[in-house]
Amino acid sequence: MKKTLFLTACCLVWALGLWAQIPALERVEPMFWWVGMHNPDLQLIVHGDNIAARKVELSYPGVKLVAVHKVENPNYLFIDLRILSGTVPGTFPIKFTKAGEKPLLYSYELKQRDQSAGRAQGVTNKDLIYLIMPDRFSNGDPANDSFTNLREKGVHRDSIFSRHGGDLQGIMNHLDYLKDLGVTAIWLTPEIENDEPHASYHGYAVTDYYKIDPRYGTNELYKKFVEKCHSMGLKVIKDLVHNHAGTEGYTISDMPMKDWVHQWPTYTKSNFRDMAVMDPHASPADRKQMLDGWFDHRMADMNENNPYVQNFLTQNHIWWVEYTGLDGFRLDTYPYNDPEYMAKWATDVKAQFPHFSIFGETLVWSAADQAYFTQGNTVNRGFDTQLPGVTDGVVKDAIYEALNGNEGWTDGVNRLYAVLAQDFLYQDATRNTIFLDNHDMSRILSVVGENISKYKSAMAMLLTLRGVPQMYYGDEILMKNFSNPDGLVRADFPGGWDGDKSNKFVVAGRNPAENDAFDYVRKLANYRKNTTALQTGKMMQFIPENGVYVYFRYDDHKTVMVVYNSRDNDQTISTSRYFERIKNAKTAKNVITDEVIDLSKLTVGNKSTLVLELVDNQ
């Protein structure tokens, strides 16, 4: 996400000493909770007109009212509850009383946890993630395209900055397509409410943490979406934004306290230099601006040192997992968050959901920078981040260099070899999510100059290298463009709207080149889904020679050999150098064509990749 900032009007609320006019009891969040959670403590945030002038009363067996906190803004109360072990599910009134006035009542429910199999199961290197922007994939319910009570109105598909009408129902209508492609996990960019007046479709300026954006559907529909995915063997990843919030959200437009967000004398944006976080020589001012500077003028920087903010965010994230059973979190703009809080957050989430998966967006420039943020790396930090993996942008850049760069000692395909050789920096590099593109960067087809051999080689590497592969919607049908601006790489999936000129979800709607690309990805993705060597198997790579890079993925069941020719001419190579892994195999099956070939010599086309399953001829 691009970053700019100014001092917003919400900050003027503090300067002028004014408070928003709101209903007497507007919100209680979380609006319900569960018995039997790992952490017995729960903090409710209550928002209402001068609610701090009222006393709080409640009575329910097993629920203890620990404390009621009044803060700077009298429109808020924070209520600490302890839900003791053995408390039974049920509903009880929370009473807000004031002498001479009618009490306000909120009926609070403690639900029974759903601990059925298949919930919060985690996303691992056995999976293939498919990234979708909900607004741009498919419109399954035109009735929810626009709402009069939301700031951005209407559907304008001719504008890359406007809403296009895609929604959850549209995605649900095409789960069979994703299943057939070989996808096993779906990552949606934020689907919760973004009620900003412009470019709200991307979802990264959250205005209601507990509400699915009505233009996508409802909370109930999102829960059904997760359940339907699970019934089809698909997992779901939720995109979280800890670092910032949309300025139109109630906790920003009517902040509980001044330090709910990071305040500056004048509008100050982040310097976006992740090095300042890890640099032992860094200026404290640089580090502060990196972490506390705002991301954008409509994205207020959350103060994660504030314990009320911490509870608000952590409880919300746990709430969504418990409510829906989703399987993983992708953490937006990870380096910009408070490091100590994020470590505590990850510990709390993993304590509640032991099999749950978490990976952070880092988008830094070196393997050392990436590894710094991952769990197990405590050098010069004094704590463990507890972050299992990251979005591996360094491998992505190395793949680009292998495809497009000029051959050199550390350039061209040698860059990819060198980057993977640095996997010793990670506790477990196989937990990293590898990718070729996403919603913030140019599409892979355009990056490789629309060269189909390069495109297929990129897909082959994505689906055979170590880690958790993630692809971006439409890459399989040759969607293209450069991220200048980002909206150009966020085009609608053709066929996702009634009346589209073509329907790329079906064979008949795709042209021969698109079907060829789709078939290639489908064949390799489904092969990976059924081949443990490409999921959890070990990896052995060989120093590139004459522009040819060879690596193996192997386990006790299969050995897969991957051969990439980075040069502009076809090459025939001897395989004797690779005896350590070839061993007794004399033939191999081409995974794409099913042809059985002689292993003694291999001919590889220019910029092309062979994916071979070795045949044991012992």
Q: Which of 182, 148, 287, 75 has the alpha carbon at shortest distance from 528? A: 182
Q: What is the pLDDT of residue 3?
A: 37
DSSP string, 542-560: EEEETTEEEEEEE-SS-EE
Contact residues for 539 (Cβ-Cβ < 8 A; gap 6+)? 420, 465, 466, 551, 552, 553
Pairwise CA distance, residues 441 & 437, whole Å: 6
Task: Map residue 612 onto helix, strand or coil.
Answer: strand
**Both structure tokens of 148:** 């009069």
b/e code 123-161 from CB counts within 10 Å (16+ = b): bbbebbbbbbbbbbbbbbbeebbeeeebebeebebeebe
Question: What are the residues whose beta carbons fall under 8 Å from the beta carbon of 410, sequence distance 6 or more?
Answer: 418
- Compute the distance between CA of residue 527 and CA of residue 404 in angstroms, rounded to an integer: 27
**Does the active-site annotation cover 595?**
no
- The pLDDT value recorded for residue 15 is 38
* Helix ranges (DSSP H) in 38-154: none
pLDDT at 11: 45
Output the pLDDT for position 379. Answer: 77
Angle at 469 between CA 465 and CA 472, to 5 degrees: 135
Cβ atoms of residues 193 and 241 within 8 Å = no
| Mean of pLDDT values over 430-441 | 98
Note the pLDDT of residue 12.
37
The Cα 529–Cα 546 span in angstroms is: 32
State how far the Cα of 371 lies from the Cα of 380, in Å rounded to an integer.
13
| Marked catalytic residue, from 361, 401, 437, 514 | 361
pTM value is: 0.96
- The catalytically annotated residue of 167, 332, 401, 475 is 332
For residues 504 and 509, give the distance between their C-alpha atoms in angstroms, rounded to a whole number: 5
Q: Catalytic: 361?
A: yes
Which has the higher per-residue pLDDT, 590 or 19? Answer: 590
Q: How far apart are CA 215 and CA 271, in angstroms?
A: 34
- Give the Cα separation of 264 and 93 in Å (integer): 41
Q: Is the pLDDT of residue 472 over 50?
A: yes
At 543-570, the pLDDT tens digits run 999 999 999 999 999 999 999 999 999 9
Nearest to 595 by CA among 616, 573, 568, 615: 615
Which residues are CB-contacts of 584 (< 8 A; sequence separation ≥ 6)? 616, 617, 618
Tokens standing for residue 55: 């006393």
Closest among 109, 167, 172 to 143, alpha carbons compared: 167
Beta strands in 497-547 (DSSP E): 538-545
Size (the chain), residues: 618
pLDDT digits (tens, 9 = 90+) for 121-149: 999 999 999 999 999 999 999 999 999 99
Mean pLDDT value of segment 429-445: 98
Mean pLDDT along residues 33-57: 98
Nearest CA among 14, 234, 167, 275 for reference residue 493: 167
pLDDT band for position 616 (cuts 50, 70, 90): confident
Residue 77, classed as helix, strand or coil, is strand
- Identify which of 416, 464, 473, 401 has the alpha carbon closest to the alpha carbon of residue 443: 473
Q: Is the pLDDT of residue 9 over 50?
A: no
Summarised one tens digit per residue, pLDDT across range 289-325 is 999 999 999 999 999 999 999 999 999 999 999 999 9
Render pLDDT for 27-36 as a digit per residue (tens, 0 to 9): 999 999 999 9
pLDDT of 186 strictly over 90:
yes
**pLDDT grade for 382, boundaries at 50, 70 and 90:** confident
If DSSP codes are grouped into helix, strand and coil, which group holds residue 373? coil
Decide: 451 and 598 in contact? Cβ < 8 Å. Answer: no
Confidence of residue 389 (pLDDT cuts 50, 70, 90): very high
Distances (CA, A) of 480 to 178, 427, 491: 19, 35, 9
| Percent of the residues in the chain that have a pLDDT greater than 90, as a whole number | 94
Query: What are the pLDDT digits (tens) for 518-530?
Result: 999 999 999 999 9
Provide the residue type at 334 as one letter: Y
pLDDT beyond 60 at 394: yes
Are the C-beta atoms of 244 and 294 separated by less than 8 Å? yes
231-284 pLDDT, tens digit each: 999 999 999 999 999 999 999 999 999 999 999 999 999 999 999 999 999 999
CA 503/CA 518 separation, integer angstroms: 14
pLDDT, residue 311, reads 98
Structural Rg of the chain based on CA atoms? 26
- Quote the Cα angle for 552-558-563, to 5°: 30
**Span 479-513, pLDDT tens digits:** 999 999 999 999 999 999 999 999 999 999 999 99
Q: Which residues of 593-602 are buried (b: 16+ CB within 10 A; e: fewer)?
A: eeeebebeeb
Report the pLDDT value the prediction gives residue 421, as an integer from 0 to 100. Answer: 98
pLDDT over 70, % of the chain: 96
CA–CA dist 118, 270 (Å, integer): 40
Select from 199, 180, 184 the least CA-distant residue to 127: 184
Q: Say which amino acid occupies 599.
A: L
Mean pLDDT of the chain: 95
Which two tokens mark 171?
Answer: 């995605």
Q: Which two tokens stand for residue 396?
A: 């992505």
> Average pLDDT in the 75-87 region?
98
The full 3-state SS of 35-57, as one line of letters, equals CCCCCCEEEEEEECCCHHHCEEE
* Cβ count near 353 (within 10 Å): 23
